[in-house]
């Protein structure tokens, strides 16, 4: 009789060179706390264990790893070369545990399902809040967890299985994903009221070519609007002068208001700030300023509740 094929997970575990019996979640959390505070005493207090027990746990963990995590000095604990990679994976393990704890707690409260959405800043700032609020009213047993990322990172989250639904601006490669239409938006030029562009007639349409001598403020790498600007500048054979890379539309608006540069932002996202900040905006002539937004999932059939959410988001377009 042939032996059944070996479980790949068991093979992976058997190939691990360090001693897994030395690993437990309390010791991992204790080591993370030591790295944060640089003090075993503070970490022991935070984890509610005796100092001697904490010291023993760290030594056993280091013995299991085969490398020291800390250099002991009179002033405290100093990171070693092993600390950074350990922390990276420790946070992932602890995050998974806290996520499990949260979902089990939600089950007790009647929440039977979590759906993870990863969405671009443009989708979150312009469209998703009222849509998800309406969805939640009709599906109180389903918890929507949302993460904000630039469009390229949204697709990566879906490809990696870290999000079930992605909402992004068309542009990044979508190979290996299913997509559906979601919304459309329009990029406009935003400037301070003190900037010369603000003195142009309100109905003026600007050519991107004429703005390439300006200092720009933008979202960081992977943002769809930055990609469009870079592509257009490259087509024109001119440099794009990015002065600042920021992480949110609000941050960009504050810098623009201070007249530190101009920006391209979705019109709907800018409009609320026009009432409270000294900003002006003008339309672009360039056709690429009008953008399509899409929904994305992994290939293959979705669970019924995820499919209903996708249909709701797609069908609720005005």
Task: Break the chain into its structural domains and give their ranges.
Answer: 8-102, 111-318
Q: What is the mean pLDDT of residues 269-276?
A: 91
Q: Could you give the CA distance from residue 70 to residue 186 in angstroms, rounded to a whole number?
A: 52
150, 247 contact by CB (below 8 A): no
Q: What is the pLDDT of residue 102?
A: 66
Q: Which tops the pLDDT comparison, 13 or 29?
A: 29
Q: What is the mean pLDDT of residues 292-299?
A: 95
Band (18; pLDDT cuts 50, 70, 90): low
> Does residue 309 register a pLDDT over 60?
yes
Q: Mind listing the pLDDT tens digit for each residue in 54-80?
A: 999 999 999 888 889 999 999 899 999
Segment 93-100 long-range contacts (CB within 8 Å, at least 24 positions apart): 93/25, 93/28, 94/25, 94/28, 94/29, 94/32, 97/25
Residue 260 sits at the vertex; the CA angle it makes with 259 and 264, to the nearest 5 degrees, is: 85
Instruction: Output Rg (C-alpha) for the chain, integer angstroms.
Output: 25
Class (C level, CATH) for 8-102: mainly alpha
Q: Could you give the CA distance from residue 112 to residue 131 in angstroms, rounded to a whole number?
A: 20
Q: Which tops the pLDDT comparison, 269 or 113?
A: 269
Q: What is the pLDDT of residue 1?
A: 46
Q: What is the pLDDT of residue 14?
A: 46
- pLDDT over 90 for what percent of the chain? 66
Q: Name the CATH code of domain 111-318 (choices 3.30.70.20, 3.40.190.290, 3.30.460.10, 3.10.20.740).
A: 3.40.190.290
> Does residue 194 register a pLDDT over 60?
yes
Residue 214 to residues 20, 85, 259, Cα–Cα distance (Å): 57, 41, 11
């Amino acid at each position: 009789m042939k032996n059944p094929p070996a479980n790949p997970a068991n093979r992976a575990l058997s190939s691990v060179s360090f001693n897994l019996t030395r690993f437990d979640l309390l010791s991992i959390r204790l080591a993370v706390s030591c790295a944060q505070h640089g003090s075993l005493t503070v970490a022991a207090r935070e984890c509610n264990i005796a100092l001697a027990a904490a010291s023993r746990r760290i030594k056993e963990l280091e013995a299991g790893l085969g490398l020291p995590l800390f250099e002991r000095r009179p002033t405290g604990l100093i990171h070693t070369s092993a600390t950074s990679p350990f922390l990276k994976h420790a946070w992932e393990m602890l995050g998974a545990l806290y996520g499990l704890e949260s979902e089990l707690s939600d089950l007790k409260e009647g929440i039977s399902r979590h759906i993870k959405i990863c969405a671009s800043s443009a989708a979150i700032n312009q469209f998703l809040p009222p849509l998800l609020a309406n969805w939640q009213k009709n599906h109180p047993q389903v918890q929507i967890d949302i993460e904000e990322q630039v469009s390229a990172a949204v697709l990566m989250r879906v490809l990696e299985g870290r999000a079930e639904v992605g909402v992004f601006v068309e542009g990044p490669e979508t190979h290996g994903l299913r997509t559906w239409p979601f919304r459309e938006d329009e990029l406009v030029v935003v400037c301070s009221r003190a900037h010369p562009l603000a003195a142009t007639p309100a109905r003026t349409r600007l050519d991107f070519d004429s703005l390439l001598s300006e200092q720009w403020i933008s979202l960081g790498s992977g943002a769809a609007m930055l990609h469009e600007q870079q592509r257009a500048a490259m087509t024109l054979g001119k440099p794009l002068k990015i002065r600042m890379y920021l992480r949110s539309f609000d941050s960009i608006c504050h810098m623009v208001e201070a007249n530190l540069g101009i920006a391209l932002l979705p019109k709907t996202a800018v409009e609320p700030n026009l009432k409270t900040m000294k900003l002006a905006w003008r339309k672009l002539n360039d056709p690429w300023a009008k953008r399509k937004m899409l929904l994305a999932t992994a290939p293959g059939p979705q669970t019924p509740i995820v499919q209903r959410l996708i249909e709701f988001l797609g069908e609720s377009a005005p």
